[in-house]
Amino acid sequence: MAAIAIRRRWNGREHGSQREWSRKLVHIGSGAVVLIAWAFAIDRRIAIPAAATITLLAALNHRLRVLPAVEDVGRSSYGTVAYGASITLLLWQFWPSQPATVTAGVLVMALGDGLAGLLGPLWPSPSWQVLGQRRSLLGTSTMACASLMVLSILSLAGGGPAWPQLLLITAAATLLEQLAVAGIDNLTVPLGVAWLWQQSTGLS
């Protein structure tokens, strides 16, 4: 509902960057679902079908535009579908034995990429193109800082990787986020972060 309200507020062409806000609000809010599932120890028999169903609905919405607040950003992107698919894959691979691994992958994407997409367009900063996608110094810095913050908190809370590994994972997430053609970063960032987190903690 909040996403729809934001889209209605900035529905004009002159607010093109703000129209991304509704999509990013959904993006960030989706990350909280994993924290809730962890806190309440949701069974994988519930978590995985729920994530898969949401991904399917996102794919249908991408096609039919039932909820344009999620998709109407003036460019072709499968990011919402890829995001749901990445969460589903992480739950299938690591849930519930490694909730921190799943949370690391999802929250880096939710907060890191989400905040980068919100703050990057707001203030002018040096920018560049990566395969036709604009990237800015402010947005990239936000992605790195938010990712490091998320990973550090998770590490302190659950005995995660040491600082050198956290910096490596942050750097990898930031680099993967640069490659965002058609929203593919919504798949590569969560999966890449989760895999590096698992390798750094020695879990299997």
pLDDT-based confidence at residue 70 (cuts at 50, 70, 90): low
**What mean pLDDT value characterizes the chain?**
85
Question: CA–CA distance from 9 to each of 61, 64, 115, 118, 177 (Å)?
Answer: 21, 22, 20, 16, 28
CB 118 within 8 A of CB 140: no
Which residues neighbour 53 within 8 Å (Cβ) at sequence distance 6 or greater?
A: none
The pLDDT score that the predictor gives to residue 48 is: 97
Token pair in block for residue 203: 């879990």
- What is this structure's pTM? 0.85
- Between residues 141 and 159, which one has the greater pLDDT? 141
Distance CA 183, CA 77 (A): 5
Tens of pLDDT, residue by residue over 75-125, are: 556 888 999 999 999 999 999 999 999 999 999 999 998 899 888 888 899
Token pair in block for residue 28: 């960030």
Average pLDDT for 178-198: 94
Percent of the chain with pLDDT over 70: 81
